[in-house]
């Protein structure tokens, strides 16, 4: 169809249409006014609350009330062992099998000490400190096929896991981090870009102190001598020959531990890390130094 035809058609259409007259034009906006004047904010309507009943009166029933039914929250029997579950520390599990997997896939550098930051960086593990997650619980799934010599720091580990790692000549430490430090470890880049100085790691709460100070759980606050004794005990219990750390070529790496106040390997509290300028700023003020050393 040519453009001429379209024009023709439009013109014929226009000719057939009635002429614009007073009878077929719309009123000017605001010409007519509603003769009724409703009272109240929205002209006397129901303010979006609906018609009739508890909805309109906005006397909502108490939470969980089901208008006379046996309420859902009371239908189940009381289970006391869940008491305070919303306040307890949680350690989302990460198995030795998965750890072996990320090592085999070269997502984790085992020539350096491993901590929660490096495991999160591998992309195979994540946690949310605001859901009371306090770090990794390294579980013994795949303990039999675990074959890597590592220096690892987790937040919770069972005896079997400790034995599996020490059997391979590795070292394991269980360390507590307060939620704020865990946020930093989960996303160090975000923290460094916020331009704050690295804070100190806080001490564990009273109900966790026993775990983190005992040599049996390889706590980071335990006596190193006790730990070396317990290493031998565990080796005898599980029947493997204990590797002598002092003779190891990677002795330096295997013996690297964080200070109880330290969050990142190699970085001390009080330092400011600038990623743009690739520089570290250290405080010189004595008061600041004292604060960050305390």
Residues forming contacts to other proteins in the complex (CB under 8 A) are: 29, 192-197, 202-204, 206, 209-210, 213, 221, 270, 272, 274-277, 281, 283, 285, 287-288, 291
The minimum distance between CB 268 and other proteins, in angstroms, equals 13
Nearer residue to other proteins within complex by CB, 142 or 283: 283
Nearer residue to other proteins within complex by CB, 100 or 214: 214
3-state secondary structure the chain: CCHHHHHHHHHHHHHHCCCCCCCCCCCCCCCCCCCCCCCCCCCCCCCCCCCCHHHHHCCCCCCCCCCCCCCHHHHCCCCHHHCCCCCCCECCEEEHHHHHHHHHCCCCCCCCCECHHHHHHCCCCCCCHHHCECCCEEECCCCCCCCCCCEEEECEECHHHHHHHHHCCCEEEECCCCHHHHHHHHCHHHHHHCCCCCCCCCCCCHHHHHHHHCCCCCECCCCHHHHHHHHHHHHHHHCCCCCCHHHCCCHHHHCCCCCCCCCCCCCCCCCEEECCCCEEECCCCHHHHHHHHC
The minimum distance between CB 173 and other proteins, in angstroms, equals 16
Nearer residue to other proteins within complex by CB, 126 or 289: 289
The minimum distance between CB 84 and other proteins, in angstroms, equals 18
Nearer residue to other proteins within complex by CB, 20 or 244: 20
Q: Are 152 and 109 in contact (CB under 8 A)?
A: no
Nearer residue to other proteins within complex by CB, 225 or 241: 225
The minimum distance between CB 66 and other proteins, in angstroms, equals 41
Nearer residue to other proteins within complex by CB, 56 or 196: 196
The minimum distance between CB 218 and other proteins, in angstroms, equals 16
The minimum distance between CB 75 and other proteins, in angstroms, equals 37
């Amino acid at each position: 169809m040519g453009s001429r035809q379209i024009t023709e058609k439009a013109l014929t259409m226009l000719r057939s249409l009635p002429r614009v007259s007073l009878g077929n034009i719309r009123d000017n906006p605001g010409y007519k006014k509603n003769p009724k004047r409703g009272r109240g904010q929205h002209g006397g309507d129901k303010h979006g609350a609906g018609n009739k009943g508890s909805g309109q009166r906005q006397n909502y029933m108490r939470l969980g009330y089901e208008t006379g039914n046996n309420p859902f929250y009371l239908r189940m029997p009381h289970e006391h062992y869940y008491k305070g579950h919303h306040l307890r520390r949680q350690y989302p599990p990460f198995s030795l099998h998965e750890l072996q997997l990320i090592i085999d896939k070269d997502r984790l550098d085992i020539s350096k000490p491993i901590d929660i930051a490096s495991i999160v960086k591998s992309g195979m593990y994540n946690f949310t400190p605001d859901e009371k997650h306090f770090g990794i619980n390294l579980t013994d799934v795949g303990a039999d096929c675990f074959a890597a010599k590592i220096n690892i720091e987790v937040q919770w580990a069972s005896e079997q896991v400790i034995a599996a790692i020490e059997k391979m000549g590795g070292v394991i430490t269980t360390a507590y981090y307060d939620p704020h430090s865990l946020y930093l470890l989960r996303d160090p880049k975000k923290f460094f870009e916020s331009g704050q100085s690295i804070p100190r790691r806080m001490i564990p709460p009273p109900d966790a102190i026993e775990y983190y100070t005992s040599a049996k759980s390889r706590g980071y606050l335990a006596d190193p001598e006790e730990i070396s004794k317990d290493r031998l005990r565990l080796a005898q219990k599980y029947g493997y020959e204990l590797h002598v750390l002092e003779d190891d070529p990677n002795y330096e790496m295997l013996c690297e531990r964080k200070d109880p106040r330290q969050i990142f390997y190699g970085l001390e509290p009080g330092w400011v890390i600038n990623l743009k300028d690739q520089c570290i700023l250290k405080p010189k003020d004595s008061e600041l130094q004292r604060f960050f050393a305390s």
